[in-house]
Amino acid sequence: MPFIPHTAQDVREMLAAIGAPDIESLFDEIPRELKDASLTAVPSSMDEMAIMRLMAARAQQDGHWRNFLGAGAYEHHVPAAVWQIVTRGEFYSAYTPYQAEASQGTLQVLYEYQSMMAGLTGLDVSNASLYDGASGLAEAVLMAVRLHKSSRRILMPRSIHPVYREVVSTIVRNQDIDLVDVAYDARSGLTDRASLEQSGQSDFAALVIPQPNYFGRLEPVHALTDWAHAKGALVVALVNPISLGLLVPPGQWGTGGADIAAGDGQPLGIPLSGGGPYFGFLTCKAEHVRQMPGRVAGRTVDLDGRPGFTLTLQAREQHIRRSKATSNICTNQGLAVTAATIYMALLGPEGLRRVAQASHANLVGLLERLNRYGVRARFPAPHFHEAVLPLEVPAAEVLQAMRATGIVGGLDLSADYPELGHAMLVCTTETKSSQDLDDYAKALASALAQSKQPKRA
């Protein structure tokens, strides 16, 4: 709400109606020692004009940056219509659709979302989302182990997002599941086949294939999928949804397609928002749907033949039988999913393709500009809108110098991939102009030159 409409008299009447002496008594279950009454920096009251001035000043402190940072969270253009529709009351305040008769709008949105995600990934069934991409991958791993039954080993390439690998480990490590690291080739940035063959000598439940991988490289997904299936294992695809506007969907990888696909839906109309909320997606082949966690909305007809929507396959999570649950997830990030549904509906397949093409073209253009300054990508093409840049000096110094010009230049990789030396991950999306690319190249060149200058004593 833009303002609080209750007068002092309204408050008194409401408290009287429920038998409470004051507002503070509504929170008497909070222990006194946990309450902080020392908010000395907060003024007692301000009028609307003063509040707006204060908030504008605080916002200016954050600055206005040209962002070339990706690494799992991407700055895409979000059409104004997306959140204008999402924040309508019927979407914004809708509750969990336990009662189908009172939740047809919400259920239809979930059904439309599932249909779009199934089409985008080329698989048969989608759930109604998960917390985020990292926990979505963990759920896919758990699902693969349940499906395979004879092995609890999962092959996890090191070229998967480091945070995703940490989250998966946190969720599954106490469930007797062995996550086996698979090295990447130091020259290509792709999954190392020798390491893969070594890891695959013992029985394993699934191979996770990132496409693109963390370095922006495009893996040979057809060969990897067929290799895993030949070993009797499942394939879990970890994909960027925008990339599927251009790339072959997981359901068409290799001879039989990936079995499960997961990822983060943030690129589909969700602003960066300081880290969330985002949502995770999960799709699979029809024969695996009984092991899929999360909600599944279905379309049916009533006694009069009219179409209707309802939650299906309910024996899981907090619904009905906890002992039969495939997961303990308790939300589907419904508002973010609604935004993604509207975003995909507005853009359509052609729009998604154009976003992916523009993101890729901007990366190609940026790398061409950087080549003129002697900076070349660490790994060869093809990439998808991210690439690793090797540097002669610490990336932290370069990024700090670039921030002084108003540019967030990328991500320092030294902590997660020290073997790459001084390197950073740079990302472009469709939001970057030709001038942005020129300015980035000049800022990076200037930062490198500045870092090479002798330091004053």
Examine the domain organization and report whether 223 and 158 are in the same domain. yes
Per-residue confidence (pLDDT) for residue 208, from 0 to 100: 98
Q: Is 421 inside any structural domain?
A: yes
Confirm if 308 and 300 have CB atoms less than 8 A apart: yes
Examine the domain organization and report whether 387 and 427 are in the same domain. yes
Q: Is 374 inside any structural domain?
A: yes
Q: Is 305 inside any structural domain?
A: yes
Last residue within a domain, chosen from 323, 344, 365 = 344
Q: Is 2 inside any structural domain?
A: no
Using DSSP, state whether 113 is helix, strand or coil.
helix
Range of the domain at 429: 66-71+348-452
Q: Is 114 inside any structural domain?
A: yes
Using DSSP, state whether 310 is helix, strand or coil.
strand
Query: In one letter, which amino acid is 81?
Result: A
Q: Is 424 inside any structural domain?
A: yes
Instruction: Using 70 as the pLDDT threshold, list the residues of the chain that sit under it.
Output: 1-4, 314-324, 328-332, 454-457
Share of the chain above pLDDT 90, in %: 74
Confirm if 200 and 156 have CB atoms less than 8 A apart: no
Q: CA–CA separation, 135 vs 131, rounded Å?
A: 6
Examine the domain organization and report whether 265 and 278 are in the same domain. yes
State the chain's mean pLDDT as an integer.
91
Last residue within a domain, chosen from 344, 379, 409 = 344
Examine the domain organization and report whether 331 and 382 are in the same domain. no
Examine the domain organization and report whether 208 and 226 are in the same domain. yes
Confirm if 206 and 155 have CB atoms less than 8 A apart: yes
Examine the domain organization and report whether 339 and 353 are in the same domain. no
Using DSSP, state whether 57 is helix, strand or coil.
helix
Backbone phi and psi for residue 280, each to the nearest 5 degrees, phi listed first? -100, 145
Q: Is 5 inside any structural domain?
A: no
Q: Enter the DSSP assignment of 184.
A: B
Question: Within a 13 Å sphere around the CA of 447, how many CA atoms are in the beta-carbon half?
Answer: 27
Examine the domain organization and report whether 337 and 236 are in the same domain. yes
Per-residue confidence (pLDDT) for residue 1, from 0 to 100: 43
Q: CA–CA separation, 218 vs 216, rounded Å?
A: 7
Q: Is 126 inside any structural domain?
A: yes
Q: CA–CA separation, 34 vs 56, rounded Å?
A: 31
Last residue within a domain, chosen from 293, 322, 344 = 344
Instruction: Kindly report the CATH number assigned to the domain that includes residue 194.
Output: 3.40.640.10
Using DSSP, state whether 396 is helix, strand or coil.
helix
Per-residue confidence (pLDDT) for residue 455, from 0 to 100: 64
Per-residue confidence (pLDDT) for residue 320, from 0 to 100: 55
Instruction: Kindly report the CATH number assigned to the domain that includes residue 368.
Output: 3.90.1150.10
Examine the domain organization and report whether 268 and 364 are in the same domain. no
- How far CA 230 is from CA of 138, 194, 302, in Å, comes to 24, 17, 45
Tens digits of per-residue pLDDT, 197-244? 999 999 999 999 999 999 999 999 999 999 999 999 999 999 999 999
Examine the domain organization and report whether 279 and 408 are in the same domain. no
CA dihedral 177→221→130→139, nearest 10 degrees, is -10
Examine the domain organization and report whether 321 and 382 are in the same domain. no
Quote the number of domains for the chain. Answer: 2
Examine the domain organization and report whether 187 and 307 are in the same domain. yes
Examine the domain organization and report whether 183 and 252 are in the same domain. yes
Cα 73 to the center of its chain, rounded Å: 6
Backbone phi and psi for residue 92, each to the nearest 5 degrees, phi listed first? -65, -35
Per-residue confidence (pLDDT) for residue 313, from 0 to 100: 77
Contacts of 171 (CB under 8 A, 6+ apart): 135, 138, 142
Q: CA–CA separation, 316 vs 395, rounded Å?
A: 46
Q: What's the predicted TM-score (pTM) here?
A: 0.87
**Bridge partners of 182?**
157
